[in-house]
Structure 1
Amino acid sequence: MRFLSIIIFLFIAKTSFANVILPSLFSNHMVLQQNDEVKFWGWANPNEEVTIQTSWNGELYKTKASNQAKWDLIIKTPSYGGPFTISIKGYNEIVLNDILIGEVWLCSGQSNMEMSANWGGGIKNMDEVGKANNPTIRFFTIPKSASKYPQDNLTANWDICTPETMKKSSAAAYFFAKRLQENLKDIPVGLIVSAWGGTPAEIWMPEETIRKDSILNEAANNLKPVEWGPTEPARAFNAMINPLVGYNIAGALWYQGEANVGSPVYDKTLNTLINSWRYLWHKKFPFYYVQIAPYEYGEDHFGGVEIRNAQRKVLNLSENTGMVVIDDVSTADDIHPKDKKTVGIRLANLALKNHYKNFDGIVNGPLFKNISFEKGKTKVFFDNSKGLNTKGDNSLFEIAGEDKIFYDAKSKIKNDYIILTSKKVKKPKYVRFAWKNTTQSNVFNEANLPASTFTTEH
């Protein structure tokens, strides 16, 4: 009897908690990054053998769970295609169905990334909802969740794009994917959407990244609690980003900044967030973001325009980044611009030109390059300045001398640069453009893309 009891105990010990478990990321309908070595991971009994077999080549991959009950495997993916099946075996077997191979993008930020066609009064592009039957676009939309400590998993699932699922998903992300597919014919696109309206950037990066930097730590400590979401460092990162780390992506899209209006160090904050994500993924993936639109944040400060300028400055701080300016398709009385199609298209055009190298069009508006002074005149030079033109009669340029008191300047376009003059400034030293929270750019290039606000004062 004692021998039989031992046998029964060993059998129970071997079979208890024996099931291989996968994070929710690895589930039916998912999209895996093409032509890559993608990481699978999960949990199993310590020392349990785990095998993965893929239908695209029949190859068998093996590993064993560690004494921490964790395992991971690197799987080679082919060029785009599908649907495929993937079998994961331990003491049990999990079969994942309808798997596509294509391009995966992480889409994060606050409400303007989260915003769907169902949001409030809807988006400007509601006529697109009924056309959204596209089974090769997939959404993995993460519900809002916060945690004091980094999490290993979250609750979400992959959805096939239909008019109904598109209506509940990020509109900007959808139009990004749709535009990608116009050039990347037949290539599936997976959209991992992790966004939370009204949240500052500090909650989207690891806490230690903030605490070890005195400037960022001070900025984080100055954030005031709000009703609609966390403001403590890393709370959304821990619950909504950390469980994704390691899942191979082509790049990231970011639409955030409104909740950081008033921060004097947002350029450092955003740059640090970008670097922290790339460090965790071990990859300098493209990071494309949307400059916030002009809005009525108040007339007694420059908080909104300072964030826009900080976002512009990040382009020079972090490589492989891109920014789209959208103040020509927004209104200053709405913090949620309704035209999400233009936003998605402009983000996609950045990716098509800079990452995929298959689009020849102009994807950026005029970006401030430098200035020069000559006999009381100021010359302002831009990148992407071909076909430089202004709309309307008002000049949005201001110049100042050593005293940094700014005056309106007359502007004149010549040879794709702009000449500024003011009778009130004899020796100009500083220039700023569209320098108000509500001011929309009126300088464009031949692609009809607007210039970003800027100042040379700091």
Structure 2
Amino acid sequence: MNAEVSLPSCFSDGMVLQQNSQVKIWGWANPKEPVSVIPSWNKKEYKTEADSNAYWELTIETIQAGGPYEVEIKGYNTLQLTNVLLGEVWFCSGQSNMEMTADWGIDNKEEEIAKADFPEIRFFRTAKVTADYPQVNAIGNWETCTPETMRKNSAVAYYFARRLQEIEPDVPVGLIVSAWGGTPAEVWMPKNVFSNDKSYYKTAIDRKLSEYCPVEPSKTFNSMIYPLIGYKIAGFLWYQGESNVGESTYQQLFTELIQSWRKLWKEELSFYYVQIAPYQYEGEGTYAAMTRDLQRQVLALPKTGMVVISDVATLNDIHPTNKKTVGTRLADMALKEHYNVLKGTVESPAIQSAKKVKKGVELTFEHNESLHFTTKENLFEIAGNDGVFYQAKAKIVEGKVIVGCSKVKYPEYIRFAWGNAVQSNLFNEAELPASTFKIAIP
């Protein structure tokens, strides 16, 4: 009895494959059924056969960006994939700010939608589905960017692709978008990273249920990430954190997420993420500032980058409507750090060190070119051993920030922009804001 060769949804008409790479293609067929894949760009025939579980996979070689091409898959039947492009593929995930579409109400919505006719940008948007166990196929399909498709796809991802193509106009961009508003980070992680000895385990299993999204560990990973593992990509884009605000374990949790995804893709892929924006959360406290600082600390991982967006925050709306700036900043980071085609400063000023000096504390920043304040508001605070913070005065001297406070004779800790809805006023020459931070002073 014969079975027809078949493919997961990510391999279909209109797909984008990573250029200049060894790309894995996989699917299903009758056990022992011979399977061959013939791409039109090199007309080579790559052969394998299905195993006893009816699964097959093989690796094909792609060339430089271009298309459209065709890919033929032959078993006992033949599949012909058309309108295939070779370019750059990025995996975009997170919660509502990554999911947010133009239709939600981005800046200049109607104008942006009307001009979104870019046939060499393609979206693969996975459906919102959960599963208790890892699945073999995601629900989704490739779409060409038109006004009608752009309006219902991730605005951040779209603007990321647009910026890439401003610099590399002949390179198609594929955007795999797996995002779900309201989700905490743990739903996007494989179950094997959770155990009783992990600091974030109890927080994850005790989380209150939501009316709008899953909150149990691995629920979306199983259905919206796992089926796509192995699809050759350039890197990851991530915008999430609002649903983990105030959790002291977020740094460990987020670090584990990045490391687990890289392990599953078997490559230390670039991972660029957006720091959550200042927002007037309910109640008192500075728990959102803590989360922003924990996100900053994840930059200790190699090949990561963080976009700070406090300057485009909408303090009364957790969803900033200026998604163009967000996507562009992510793209600029990729263009400089991943592709090495952009020069200049694309990073925010980043706290590097603090030391005690005669007049207070001297702070050194990376990416401190033309460091300046945009307002006269004092956002630095200093504390002694008692941990009580007092507002401090700050001035910039030769690219360094000198901070002092007469109420603290022996400073031990310093923090900046420490509040749920506090927007940074320290910028560099690229007009990028410094991140919230809190550090000890050696």
TM class by shorter chain equals over 0.9
For 1:55, the equivalent position in structure 2 comes to: 40
Q: Write the letter of the residue equivalent to 2:198.
A: S
Shift of 1:362: 0.8
Match of 2:414 among 431, 434, 441: 431
For 2:348, the equivalent position in structure 1 comes to: 365
Shift of 1:125: 4.9
Answer yes or no: is the 8 Å Cα contact 1:376–1:426 preserved in 2: no
Match of 2:295 among 306, 311, 316: 311
Match of 2:163 among 175, 179, 185: 179
For 2:367, the equivalent position in structure 1 comes to: 384
For 1:221, the equivalent position in structure 2 comes to: 205
TM-score by length of 1: 0.95
Distance 1:374 1:275 in 2: 39
Indicate the SS of the match to 1:85.
strand
Distance 1:362 1:243 in 2: 37
Shift of 1:231: 0.8
The change in CA–CA distance for 1:69 and 1:151 in structure 2 (over 3 A counts) is same
The change in CA–CA distance for 1:212 and 1:278 in structure 2 (over 3 A counts) is farther
Match of 2:322 among 326, 339, 350: 339
Structure 1 unmatched ranges of 5 or more: 1-13
The change in CA–CA distance for 1:392 and 1:160 in structure 2 (over 3 A counts) is same
Mark the structure with the bigger radius of gyration.
1
Indicate the SS of the match to 2:387.
coil
Shift of 1:386: 1.1
Answer yes or no: is the 8 Å Cα contact 1:116–1:123 preserved in 2: no
Distance 1:331 1:415 in 2: 33
Deviation per residue, 1:255-306 (Å, 9 max, x gap): 0000001210111111100000000000101000000000112352222111
Shift of 1:129: 1.5
Answer yes or no: is the 8 Å Cα contact 1:36–1:76 preserved in 2: yes
TM-score by length of 2: 0.98
Distance 2:9 2:42 in 1: 24
For 1:81, the equivalent position in structure 2 comes to: 66
Answer yes or no: is the 8 Å Cα contact 1:105–1:190 preserved in 2: yes
For 1:329, the equivalent position in structure 2 comes to: 312
Over 6 Å off, 4+ runs: none
Give yes or no for the alignment of 1:233 onto 2:217. Answer: yes
Distance 1:82 1:393 in 2: 53
CA RMSD of aligned residues (A): 1.2
Distance 1:391 1:58 in 2: 58
Answer yes or no: is the 8 Å Cα contact 2:332–2:346 preserved in 1: yes
Shift of 1:33: 0.2
Answer yes or no: is the 8 Å Cα contact 1:401–1:429 preserved in 2: yes
Percent identity of paired positions between Structure 1 and Structure 2: 52
Indicate the SS of the match to 2:199.
helix
Answer yes or no: is the 8 Å Cα contact 2:106–2:322 preserved in 1: no
Structure 2 unmatched ranges of 5 or more: none
Q: Write the letter of the residue equivalent to 2:372.
A: N
Distance 1:394 1:143 in 2: 45
For 1:451, the equivalent position in structure 2 comes to: 434
For 1:402, the equivalent position in structure 2 comes to: 385
Distance 1:298 1:410 in 2: 29
Q: How does 1:276-295 map to 2 (within 5 A)?
A: 276-295=260-279
Shift of 1:218: 1.8
Match of 2:179 among 195, 201, 212: 195
Shift of 1:122: 4.0
Distance 1:156 1:355 in 2: 28
Answer yes or no: is the 8 Å Cα contact 1:205–1:273 preserved in 2: yes
Answer yes or no: is the 8 Å Cα contact 2:106–2:323 preserved in 1: no
Distance 1:255 1:166 in 2: 19
For 2:154, the equivalent position in structure 1 comes to: 170
Q: Write the letter of the residue equivalent to 1:254.
A: W
